[in-house]
Amino acid sequence: MYFPTTRMRRLRKNEKIRNMVRETKVSNEDLIYPIFFKDGLGDFEKEPISSMPGEYRYSLKAGVEYAMHLEELGLKSIIVFGVPFAEQKDEVGTPAFIDDGIVQKAIRAIKENTNLVVISDVCLCQYTSHGHCGLIAENDDTDFGLEILNDETLEYLAKVAVSHAKAGVDIVAPSDMMDGRVEAIRCGLDEAGFENVAIMSYSAKYASAFYEPFREAACSSPGLGNRRSYQMDPANATEAIRECELDVIEGADFLMVKPGLPYLDIIRMIKEEFPLPLVTYNVSGEYSMIMAAIEKGYLTDRAIYETLLSFKRAGADLIITNFAPYVLENNMLD
């Protein structure tokens, strides 16, 4: 029957009924907070990230203290990024896989002081002198005269993952977009005796304009050219299915779509296609534009929860987001 017998507003008339029939919810278990640790800061120093309002690079002690605070608020998972000493960077990203690297130290300290699930970003861009996610060689046939060497990079990515596993990480998250890196990392972890360390692959990672604030935060902008030869073309959708399928075959335990907001259709596609847990990364540009709009008064902070809700509604199981502290501190979750 139709109106007036059928009235959709009956299920919206007050908050109790709206909560009863709500189809999608966001909880604290869904959120993963990305935290930046930087070498060279004072003991409890934190350094503002100018392009990300309210976000900081942390010294080891300051970052661990903040992680403990977030755990008290209900956070369950954290993903660690590192910013090494600039003078340590080299052609192969050595600071990414040394035992006393900033990420390795941060993993150990967080595991010793919290019960958080600790995830680590596995990539080379923050650690290489050239700022690319893989080894490089001159090649006049490429867009900017440099070729990112896929196969030669795999050995180094596996070394990074194993070094994180030795430090005690629960999950490694390769973000480099080299072909075959999930298999290389899985083999490296298993051979080193870390068969229980899971892989959260950045499976469908697009060459997006929304990464710019992160590149400032992690000091990881490429010195020459761009990353379009290894990150995905934003125009492509079915290619994301192929990328995810290969990661599943190679042994990924989680799949990921990055960025989030401009790629809700991709999240839905991947969720319908694969039975693995699906992560989306609510990236720095998405965070910064919403925070800037809130600061200007163009939006209210309701836009934050609505953004997170859109990821869950599209099919994401987990969300990496810089909004995690805000929503926890302001009791915004269901």
Q: What positions carry a catalytic annotation?
A: 205, 258
Nearest one of 284, 288, 146, 161 to 227, comparing CA atoms: 146
Using only C-alpha atoms, what is the Rg of the chain?
A: 20
HSE-CB at 21 with a 13 A cutoff on CA atoms is 10
The long-range contacts involving 56-62, CB below 8 angstroms and separated by at least 24 positions, are 57/83, 57/217, 60/102, 60/105, 60/106, 60/109
Nearest one of 326, 295, 301, 310 to 257, comparing CA atoms: 310
Q: Quote the CA–CA distance of 95 and 93 in Å, as a whole number.
A: 6
User: Would you list the DSSP string of 191-234?
Assistant: HTT-TT-EEB---EEB--GGGHHHHHHHT---SSS-STTTSBPT
